[in-house]
Amino acid sequence: MAAPPSDRRRKQPGSRDERKSRTRRGLLDAALARLSGEQSFSSLSLREVTKDAGVVPAAFYRHFPTMEALGMSLVEESFATLRGLMREVRSEPLPTTHLIRQSVDTFLDYVLEHELHFRFIAKERYGGSSTMRMAIRQEIRLFTSELATDLARMPRLATVSSADLQLISSLVVQTIIAASELALDARPEDASELPRIADEAERKLQIILLGAAVWRSDQSR
């Protein structure tokens, strides 16, 4: 008469470590999924996360001491994927024509591919706790510096000082971030929206690089 024991623990396969890191991923993914909606991280509850991950609330503490810690992990892994993009781009030969347009397209594609991570960053960049904000700002600063060394290789920026390169890179980054945020909010039903955003970003970058090339020589005002 005894029915087969309805075991709620039914994730069978894998060693102990594998199973642990799998539910850890489950928690991170559950949080990311929730954050793609209307909620912000600080309004996200531990219980919601564990529920979506298919785990009891108390199990959360086996993986993170607090929600804040989970948030920091999300920041870290978001920028880890971004570094992946940079490595990828650098390994390929640079296009000689339409370099700006191609870079914009590549970046925006990447953002949409990792939509949830970038949505999270966009929200927490200014909305999160101060430790989170500082962590994100630090990562962006790092990204800006790396981009600056890439910009130095452009012929028309050959004569620019490294301090000015930093400035220009910061302008480029803030422009591409703004475009990313628009792209994330673009309604998928309007297919013309994304190219328009890319167009605008491209033109902005052209203006910036144009100004940068004249910048030094005009230093005297």
Partner DNA sequence: CATATTAGTGAACAGATGTTGACTTGACCG
Partner DNA sequence: CGGTCAAGTCAACATCTGTTCACTAATATG
| Residue 12 binds: one of DNA, its own copies, none (C-beta under 5 to 8 A by kind) | DNA
> Which token pair is 67?
């929600």
> Which token pair is 127?
């909305």
| Residue 7 binds: one of its own copies, DNA, none (C-beta under 5 to 8 A by kind) | DNA
CA distance 194 to 42: 30
User: Where in 60-99 is the site for DNA (CB under 7 A)?
Assistant: 60-63, 66-67
| Residue 112 binds: one of its own copies, DNA, none (C-beta under 5 to 8 A by kind) | none
CA distance 77 to 71: 10
| Residue 38 binds: one of its own copies, DNA, none (C-beta under 5 to 8 A by kind) | its own copies
Number of residues that bind DNA (CB under 7 A): 27
Shortest Cβ 39–its own copies spacing (Å): 6
The interaxial angle of helices 162-185 and 115-127, nearest 10 deg, is: 110
The interaxial angle of helices 130-151 and 162-185, nearest 10 deg, is: 120
Residue with tokens 């919601």: 48
Shortest Cβ 148–its own copies spacing (Å): 14
Q: Which residue's CB is nearer to DNA, number 66 or number 149?
A: 66
| Residue 56 binds: one of its own copies, DNA, none (C-beta under 5 to 8 A by kind) | DNA
Shortest Cβ 1–DNA spacing (Å): 19
What one-letter code names the amino acid at 98? H
Q: Is 173 in the site for DNA (CB under 7 A)?
A: no
Shortest Cβ 40–DNA spacing (Å): 13
The burial class, CB within 10 Å (0-12 / 13-18 / 19+), for 55 is: middle
User: Where in 4-63 is the site for DNA (CB under 7 A)?
Assistant: 7-9, 12, 15-17, 19-20, 22-23, 45-48, 54-63
Nearest Cα to Cα of residue 177 among 77, 71, 82: 82
Residue with tokens 């989970």: 70
